[in-house]
Structures are given as structure tokens and as C-alpha cells.
A and B are shown apart, each in its own frame.
Chain A
Amino acid sequence: MKINIGLEIHCQMTGLKSKLFCSCEADYRGKQPNGNICPICLGLPGTLPLLNKKALENALMLSLALNCKIPDVVSFYRKNYFYPDLPKNFQITQYNSYQISSIGSGGTVEFDHKKVRIRRIQLEEDPGRLVYESGIATSNYTLVDYNRAGVALMEIVTEPDFDDPKDVKLFLNKLVSVLEHLGTCDTKLDGAVRCDVNISQENKKKVEIKNVGSFKEVEKALVFEISRQKSFGIKGIEVKSETRHWDDIRRITIQSRTKEEEQDYRYFPEPDIPAAYLGNELINSLTKQMPELPDARKSRFVENFGLSEQNAQILIDEKDTADFFEESLKLYDDAKEISNWFVTDLKVFINEANGIRSLKIKPSHIAELVKLVNQSTISRNTAKQILQQIVKSGEMPSVVMNNLKATKISNEEALIQIVDDVFAKETIAVRDALKNEKAINFLLGKVIQSTRGRADPKLTTELIRKKIASIST
């Protein structure tokens, strides 16, 4: 059965200083309600929108990064509808029915050797926020906070090219990385990204899931919705064309309570913002300013550092991780060993902490850790233990090492003593080892265990073999 999935993604331009049409701060979070507003973003009579040039450039950069066509002239439209979070009761956005007005269109993005087409990228203003103090169901009044009103949004619409929720996830990972590399949107901020998803299965009606609040939830919402539709199919119930919402607490999609009426938005060109002629000069200069994007960075990691494609992919999925990796590399030049930490032990911590910058670990820590292992000062197992501590404490590995007195035991005399102790306790295993080579590993494990990982495995194995040999003769 064929499934078609399309996405409509809204990303706030969190990298901007000011809103899209006024000089209020783009960073509205944590401010006194209605404390981040001015006559323009409040739509007071007589005010006019002033297009933020930086926002236009950022949106152009994203369009270029997603291989979109850029029109010669960029224009804005008014989308008219009444809603209390809209100060002017219209939203300034872009619209492609009468002409190509949006900043990018007809793009393609490659991810994991697959392709998705980008229908359009457009620039628009975010509405304010409705606040229901005691919850939407029980509040008998609504508060409106316009601090967010007028914040620049990029709307990215894909064609319905996905057929697997896993691909959606991989695409979103790629998109996040592109946004991070461009510095336009910090997708980790609360409310910085929202995603509408539409699914249509062969011979079935289209279902839209609105307002999925984070990219991580999108795959889950899709998996749920597809299995819901499958179970309908088994029961012989028809799937209705409808709008649903993702309930991220109950982990289900639910039918929207308010039926979305067929709205007529009465789009028409915004008369207060003159159409912007872009010209090759601007596009060329933006292309020149374009930072290194994830694809190029990945290739560089593979070619210059000899990393596997898979490891390089994990590194570039989050810009912070890739940056951290390269900073570590500057301090200690062993790309393979350093990258191994990022794709194994450190990755677990990064995922748990929602990004490497939330951990206390610094590039210098990783550099030193790898160096200590390479110089055989500590064993890999000890290094793992040390890592566990430094992600929380931010201490230097050498400091932790000394505190643990964790220096690898490579002193032969000390080890002989420990090996003797183990042999005394594990008589059955010793007997086995006389006949079976593999039982040696068991004894080795015991020695390492009793030294909490500090015993040098190579030397210990040697000592065990010697002792076995001496018994058998």
C-alpha cells in the first residue's frame, strides 16, 4: 500500500535581532506579557511594516541551501482572517497563485541517498499567543500576548514525496542541521519549530495532523496515524478527510474539536512593502557568504579525516557536535579516535542532554582523554568511566584520573599478586583453563573486575598464560 506524506514546517528566525517588520526584539521568550511590542507590531492605525533586510537575506540563504529557484522579484501578500492573535486581522505572508511571490520554490533536498522536493519557502510573520490561564478547556477567558507577534517565520512546504516515517525523520534531521549551519533557527528553543503533516494512503482520503510541536514528535505522530488508519482498514471503516492534532502526552492523534471551516483568505498584494528586486549581485554575494553546509562538511570529514560515511553523518547531524569535534581535533590530532567517542559513549550523553552544549564537557576534555588512552596512561575502560564523570563535573580527565588513582596497573609485581588472588578463588575456572583456551578470558575478566578496569589487559593475559603453563607442567 502506497503512502504519501508531505510536510509544512514553520521555523522562527531565532538568529535575528529584531522582528520581521519592526525593531522589537526577535527573542520574545521570558519577557513580561505584552512587553515586547511597538506601534508597528501591534498594528496601530497609521503604522507601516518595515521589511527586515536581514530576514530576507536569511530566507534567501535557506532557499539557496535547499536548491530552490529564486524569483527576480520578491513580493508580499496579505492573508486576511479574523483572529485575536493577529493584531491587524491579516497576516503578511507570501502567495503563489497569481505569480511566484515566495522567496524560494521548486527545490530539492537529498538525504540518506533519497530525495524530497521542496514546493516553496516563504517568509511571513508569526501571530501573537493566546493564553488560557487554567487550561483551554476550563478557562472562561482568554489572555492575548503579542510579544511573539511579528517574529519572522519561514514556512517550508515539501511535496508529498515521503512514503516512510523514518525518512521524514531523516529529512528533518538534515533540515535541522542546515538551519543550524546557516544560523537562522535554533530548533531547540521552545516553540521555534512547528510542523503540519499530511498523509494520504492509496485510495484513501487525506488526513492532516496540525501543529506538531517538535520535530522529534513528527515521526511518532506519523507512526501512530498510519497504524490508526491501518486498523480502520482491517475493520472496514472509511478514513475521513479531516484535521487531527497530535497529543504528545497521550501519544495519539485526535480529531480537532473545532471543524476548520473552508476559509477564504482574500489574498492580495501588500501595498506597503514595495516588491524587492533581488538581482544577481545580491544572490552572488549571498552565495559567497554561505557558510559550509552539512553535505560539504560530511564529505570533508570523510575525505580529509578518513572517517566512515556513517560516523561523519552522526557528527554533522547537529552542528554543535560537528563544531565540538573539530575544536577537539585542533587540540589533539587524531580524528578517528576522537570521532569514535562522538558516535559511541558521548552520543548517549548528547542525546540525553538534548545537545552537547548542555553538557559540561569541553573540547579540551575529549582531546586529553584520547591522548591519555593513546599514550596507554589509562585503559579505554577507565576512559569511559572518566567520561561519565566529566560530562557532569567539567573537570579535566587528568584530574579525574588522579582522583580515581586510575592509572592503569601495568606494574608486573602488583598484577602478579592480583592474578594469584584470582587463581586462588576461581579454582574451577583454573581447571577449565588448563583444558580450554577460552576460559582464560574468564580469568582475565575477573582480574579486570577486581581492579575496576585498571589492569592492563595485554600484560594480564600474558601473566595468566604464564601461570597456567606453570601449573600444567
Chain B
Amino acid sequence: MITMDLLTSSAADIVTQIKKGYVSTEEYIAKIFDHIKKVESNVHAYISLNDLAIERAREVDSAVKRGEKLGKLAGIAIAVKDNICTSNMKTTCASKILEHYIPPYNATVIEMLEREGAIIIGKTNLDEFAMGTTTEFSRFKETRNPWDIERVPGGSSGGSAASLAAGETTLALGSDTGGSIRCPASFCSVVGLKPTYGLVSRFGLVSFANSLELIGPMCRSVYDTALMLNCITGRDSMDHTTLDVDTKDYTATITQGVKGLKIGLVREMISDVDEHVSKTIHDAASKFESLGANLNEVSIDSLQYALASYYTIAMAEASSNLARYDGVRYGIDMGPEGFEWNSYYTKVRSNFGDVVKRRIIIGTYVLSSGYYGKYYLKAQKVRTLIKQEFASLFKTYDLLIAPTMPILPFKIGEKTMDPLHMYMTDIDTVAANLIGIPSISIPCAFTDGLPIGLQIMGDHLSEELLIRAAYAFEEITDVKKVIV
């Protein structure tokens, strides 16, 4: 037996030891559960835990003993955001409406990860239906930032990010509609990747804004991110918006560095940010130069409309997607007896939280007749404009960098009363969703004990390049990613 810290090690290392039989999966999974028991009262990352995880671990161990061929993630613990459907576990979206809902099927990503031997540890907390930037708007609990439990972990995949940073899992899945993977990755000092739209199946991801969102890996290292991405990409017959591209081994080219790459620092994304953030990202830019990249400041004029465009489209789609929660077929049952349809709907749907209600109302408004052209259509035009500006930049630049978040993790409750201010924090992340390009957030530095994330964006399907650059940066920096 070798000694390794199973709570903080990378998936790549643990899986190697499991396959060799040096690490018992059962012990490893049990250790994670013990740790969860210890820290959950502070972190509140999980909504539910998987009772069958230990059993799965034993299966992996006996497969190792029998010398069977094992998957790429054999025995590895994975935390799953609770808006991704799991057939044996509740999938609540942190909403009262789906509090006891168990889907009859697995999301495609869950099927793929389990086929590679990953073990679901539990389902993680989020803002209700992934609508939020702090995970404060879960209807069950507020997840805390493990680096400072007075502060928010970011959101909406706050539970996934916090569980990684607190050593409560080895890998995690998040979803990103306007920054929901990258924001908490930044606030919790972990790695989070939003892949190219269509690279990963959305089948089984409970829709918030279909044209913007995607499932993506959240990890404590860039290498683990590549490893996990290897397992979840590809055309899915259950999702017509997936792209028909060959699966790749993103670890194969990971060490190729950034020498000779043209990298642009996006002026509009760094101009109005916290001074610590600004300084840190400028330092990061210099580090890329020192690694041999050509660095320039670039400007994207249409970005000033990105946030307005994003929220218009996201809320419009959400208002329609969330219409199905009416308590008739599944989810909360309020007893329809004695109610006329509309009043029963009113009764059931009053269980949505205020944040969700606000978005449904605004989304309904922007789609109303007479307003469609003024809002929704205009937002789509802005989207096209942004797409064009980025496309012309990518003719010259391989990658773009920016802060992930314009501010440092803030205190719980600090912004809950000010939705507009809250929306503003998404300013640097939404562009990638609007135009469907990949974007990764990696730990960049700590200032006053609080993490700052670096965002790297690339053209469609440039994940390989993104991962190479992120890995090169990670190699020359030493930023903590876990606190146990």
C-alpha cells in the first residue's frame, strides 16, 4: 500500500492506484463519506448522498481482483449537480417543486461516466433551477465557500465547486448557462470548463435556457478536467443539438504549451473589475508571455450589450421551459381535487422561489406579442453581432483571456436584495454562452485569502488548445485548490 491523501489527490493518480490494486476503492469512498460527515455542517455542498456508492466501490474492487478491464475513471468519486438526472437518486433542482422527484432515466453524461467506472457520491446544491450566481437561492440550504464560510461559493454550481474545494469529492459535474460552472470554480479555486455548445449531451440536464447551457467538468486540476472531458463528449442520439465530432484524448496534447500562440486580453472584460482581480489577471497575462505566447490587448465593442442579450434570451427560454411544472404529472402533488385547472396551477407554482418567479415573469413579458421584436429578437441580433466580432478576433488570436469574475467572493446575503447587481456579476462569463464557445476558469491566485479565477476562451471546438494553455499556466503557478 502506498500512502496518498485520498481526499486531495487527483483523479488521475487515484485511478492509477486503484487499477494497480494499491488503493481500495471501498476505503477511498468510505473515507470521502467520513469527511463529508465531518465538514458538511459547515459547507452544505450536498442535497443528497448516494447510498449505493459503497456497493459500487466494492464492485470496482472485485473487478480489479478479477483482472477485468476497467474504465478510465474506475472507482473515482464524482459529485453531480442536482439538475442532472439520475435514475436511482432524487433530482430536485434545489426546488420545492421537484423536492421528491426521482427521474426514470439517467442523463447521457451519467451513463457515460458510470460506464467508465465513476461512482456518484451525491447530488450537489445549486440555485433553484440553476438561476443564480451564489447558490444562496437553493430552496433547501445555502452552500458556503470552503475558503471562508461567511462567503458565497459562487453559483449556480456552488455545491459542486465547494465539494471539490472541501475535499468532499474528487470530480464534479456542473452546468453552465451564463457562467454557472466558471463562477463557482473561480470563487472556490477549482477548475471548471464550459465546453463548446453541442460537444456534450444535454439529455438529462433539466433545462433552464436550452440554447445557452451545457454540462461540463469541474475538477481540482487541469489534467483531471481533460480526463473527464474525454469521457463525456460525442454525438448523442438523444440530443439533436450535439455535434457530430470525433472523440479526442484531451490529455494527449496537454503538455504542448503556449509557445507561439496569440493570446488576447479582452479589454472590456477587465476594465471595470475589482483592482485585485485586475492586477492578478494582468500578472497572469505576463506569465503567458513568459511562456512564449504573444500577448495583446483586444477590444470587443459589442460586449457592452452581452448581459442584456443574455438575460433576455435566458429568461425567455426559462419562462417556457418551466411551464411544465404544474403538479399534474410529476413533482409536487398539492391535491388537485376541488380545483379548477388554473387555480391548481397557481397553487402549485407558488412554490417557486422569488428568483425563479421573477425570471418567469420577465421571460413571459419579453415574449409577449408586441414586445418580441423589441426584446427577444433584438437580443438575438446582438447575439449574432457578438458572434461575428469574436469570429473575426479568432482569425488572429488563438485564445482570449479575462477574469472569470469581476469581483472577489462576497459575503452571504450581501447582494441577495439587489438582483440587478447580482446579474452584473455575470458580465464576463455570458459571452461564451451566447456564442457557444468553450471557456475554462482556472485558479489564478489568492488575495487576502480569497480566490481569483482566470478565464480562457477559444474558438468553437478549441478545447484542446484551452486545456493546453490552462495546463501550462497551472504548471508554473502554485495555487491551492483544496482545504481539508
Interface positions of A (Cβ within 8 A of B) = 39, 42-51, 78, 80, 82-84, 87-90, 98, 141, 144, 146, 264, 266-268, 271-274
| Chain B residues with CB under 8 A of A264 | 368-369
Taking a contact as CB atoms closer than 8 A, the residue among B85, B316, B326 that contacts A82 in the complex is B326
Of B96-104, B247-255, B256-264, which stretch is located at the interface?
Answer: B96-104
Q: Determine which of A44, A45, A89 lies in contact with B326 in the assembled complex, contact meaning CB atoms within 8 Å.
A: A89
Q: Are B85 and A46 in contact (CB under 8 A)?
A: yes
Chain A residues with CB under 8 A of B345: 82
Residue of A nearest to B345 (CB): A82
B141 to chain A, nearest CB (A): 21
15 A-B pairs besides A46-B204, A272-B239 with CB distance below 8 A are A42-B329, A43-B329, A44-B105, A46-B84, A46-B202, A46-B206, A47-B204, A50-B240, A88-B324, A266-B367, A266-B369, A266-B372, A271-B241, A272-B240, A272-B241
- In the complex, B170 has a CB within 8 A of chain A: no
1/0 per residue B390-401: CB within 8 Å of A? 000000000000
Which residues from 222 to 252 on chain B have a C-beta closer than 8 Å to any C-beta of chain A? 237-241
Q: Look across to chain B and name the residue whose beta carbon is closest to the beta carbon of A45.
A: B206
Pairs of residues from A and B, 10 with the lowest C-beta to C-beta distance, nearest first:
A89-B323, A266-B367, A271-B211, A271-B210, A45-B206, A46-B204, A46-B85, A88-B324, A46-B206, A43-B324
B203 at the interface (CB under 8 A from A): yes
* Most chain B C-beta atoms within 10 Å of own C-beta, residue among A88, A146, A268: A268
* C-alpha gap A46/B83 in the complex (Å): 8
**Which residue of B has the minimal Cβ distance to A37?**
B329
A80 with B320: in contact, given A39-B104, A50-B240, A98-B377 (CB under 8 Å)? yes
Closest to B203 in A: A48
Chain A residues in 8 Å Cβ range of B203: 46-48
The dominant DSSP class at the A interface is loop
Chain A residues lying within 8 Å of B91, measured Cβ to Cβ, are 45-46
Cross-chain contact A46 with B364 (CB below 8 angstroms) = no
**Distance between Cα atoms of A172 and B228 in the complex (Å):** 58
Q: Does B317 contact A (CB under 8 A)?
A: yes
Interface residue from B101, B328, B367 paired with A80 (Cβ < 8 Å): B367
Partner of B323, one of A49, A90, A146: A90
18 A-B pairs whose Cβ atoms sit less than 8 Å apart in the complex = A42-B330, A46-B103, A46-B204, A48-B203, A48-B239, A48-B240, A80-B319, A83-B341, A88-B324, A89-B326, A90-B320, A98-B377, A264-B368, A266-B319, A266-B367, A266-B372, A268-B372, A268-B376
Q: Which A residues touch B210, using CB under 8 A?
A: 271-272
User: Are B324 and A89 in contact, with the CB atoms below 8 A?
Assistant: yes
CB distance from A95 to the nearest CB of B (A): 11
Q: Does the CB pair B324–A45 fall under 8 Å?
A: yes
Interface size on B, residues (CB 8 A): 45
* Minimum Cβ distance to chain A for residue B186 (Å): 26
Q: With A and B bound together, what is the CA distance between A268 and B317 in angstroms?
A: 9
Of chain A, the residue at the smallest CB distance from B202 is A48
Residue B41 lies at the interface, judged by CB distance under 8 Å to chain A = no
Alpha-carbon distance A144/B328, docked complex (angstroms): 9
Contacts of A42 in B (CB 8 A): 329-330
Q: Which residues on B sit within 8 Å (CB–CB) of A44?
A: 103-105, 330
Interface contact B238-A50, CB-CB below 8 Å: yes
A82/B323 in contact, CB under 8 A: yes
Complexed CA–CA distance, A351 and B345 (Å): 48
B interface majority secondary structure: loop
Chain B residues with CB under 8 Å of A50's CB are 237-238, 240
Contact B324 A266 (CB under 8 A): no
Q: Smallest Cβ distance from B350 to chain A, in angstroms?
A: 14
Inter-chain CA distance A43–B202, complex, in Å, is 15
Report the separation of the CA atoms of residues A332 and B93 in the bound assembly, to the nearest whole angstrom. 71
Q: Cβ of B206 and Cβ of A87 under 8 Å apart?
A: no
Give CA–CA (A51, B237) in the complex, Å.
11
Docked Cα-Cα span, A264 to B320, in Å, equals 13
Among candidates A43, A89, A271, residue contacting B317 with C-beta atoms closer than 8 Å: A271
A90 CA to B322 CA in the complex, in Å? 10
Q: Are the C-beta atoms of B324 and A46 separated by less than 8 Å?
A: no
Q: Which residue of A lies closest to B377 (CB)?
A: A98
Cβ-closest chain A residue relative to B107: A46
Q: A48: which B residues are within 8 A, CB to CB? A: 202-203, 238-241
Residues of A within 8 A of B84 (CB): 46
CA distance A272 to B209 in the complex (A): 10
Whether B241 contacts A87 by the Cβ 8 Å rule is no
Asked if A46 meets B205 with Cβ closer than 8 Å, knowing A82-B341, A271-B210, the reply is yes
The smallest C-beta distance from A456 to any residue of chain B, in angstroms, reads 72
| C-alpha gap A146/B104 in the complex (Å) | 17
Chain B 32-51 residues near chain A, CB threshold 8 A: none
Q: Is B207 an interface residue (CB 8 A)?
A: yes
- Chain B residues, Cβ within 8 Å of A43: 324, 329
Interface centre among A39, A50, A264, A271 (most CB of B within 10 A): A271
- Bound together, the chains give a CA A378 to CA B349 distance in angstroms of 77
Judged by a CB distance under 8 angstroms, whether B3 is at the interface is: no
Q: Is the CB of A45 within 8 A of B364?
A: no
A80 vs B376: C-alpha distance when bound (angstroms) = 15
Among B277-329, those with CB < 8 Å from A are 316-317, 319-320, 323-324, 326, 328-329
For A88, the chain B residues whose CB sits under 8 A away are 323-324
Cβ-based interface call for B342 (8 A): yes
In contact, B103 and A84 (Cβ under 8 angstroms):
no
Q: How far is the CB of A150 from chain B (nearest CB, A)?
A: 13
Given A46-B203, A266-B364, do A39 and B105 touch, yes or no (CB 8 Å)?
A: yes
In the bound assembly, the distance between CA atoms of A141 and B202 in angstroms comes to 37
Cα distance A42–B372 when bound, in Å? Answer: 28
Query: Are B103 and A45 in contact, CB atoms less than 8 angstroms apart?
Result: yes
Nearest-neighbour CB distance to chain A for B431, whole angstroms, equals: 18
**Can you name the residue of chain A whose Cβ is closest to the Cβ of B322?**
A89
Q: Is the CB of B240 within 8 A of A274?
A: yes
Instruction: For the complex formed, measure the closest distance between the CB of A101 and the CB atoms of chain B, giving whole angstroms.
Output: 14
B204: A residues at CB distance < 8 A: 46-47
Residues in B with CB closer than 8 Å to A46 are 84-85, 91, 103, 107, 202-207
Nearest Cβ distance between residue B130 and chain A, in whole angstroms? 12
Chain A: minimal CB distance from B45 (Å):
22
Collect the chain A residues with CB atoms within 8 Å of residue B323's CB.
Answer: 80, 82, 88-90
Q: How far is the CA of A51 from the CA of B238 in the complex (A)?
A: 10
Task: Find chain B residues with CB under 8 A from A47 CB.
Answer: 203-204
Contacting A at CB under 8 A, from B402-447, are none
**In the complex, A51→B317 CA distance in Å?**
19
Distance between Cα atoms of A47 and B323 in the complex (Å):
14
Chain B residues lying within 8 Å of A87, measured Cβ to Cβ, are 324, 329
Residue of B at shortest CB range from A142?
B341
Complex CA–CA separation, A78 to B324 (angstroms): 13
**Chain A residue, CB-CB nearest to B325:** A45
Could you say which residues of chain A place their CB within 8 Å of the CB of B324?
A: 43, 45, 87-89
Query: Which chain A positions have C-beta within 8 A of B367?
Result: 80, 266-268
The residue in chain A whose Cβ has the minimal distance to the Cβ of B209 is A271
Nearest CB on B from A38, distance (A) = 9
A55 to chain B, nearest CB (A): 14
> Which residues of chain B have C-beta atoms less than 8 A from A89's C-beta?
323-324, 326
With a CB–CB cut-off of 8 A, which chain B residues contact A84? 326, 328, 341
Q: Measured between C-beta atoms, what is the minimum distance from B97 to chain A in Å? A: 10
CB distance from A225 to the nearest CB of B (A): 30
Q: Looking at the assembled complex, report how far the CB atom of A281 sits from the nearest CB atom of chain B, in whole angstroms.
A: 18
Alpha-carbon distance A39/B98, docked complex (angstroms)? 16
B202 to chain A: which residues have CB within 8 Å? 46, 48
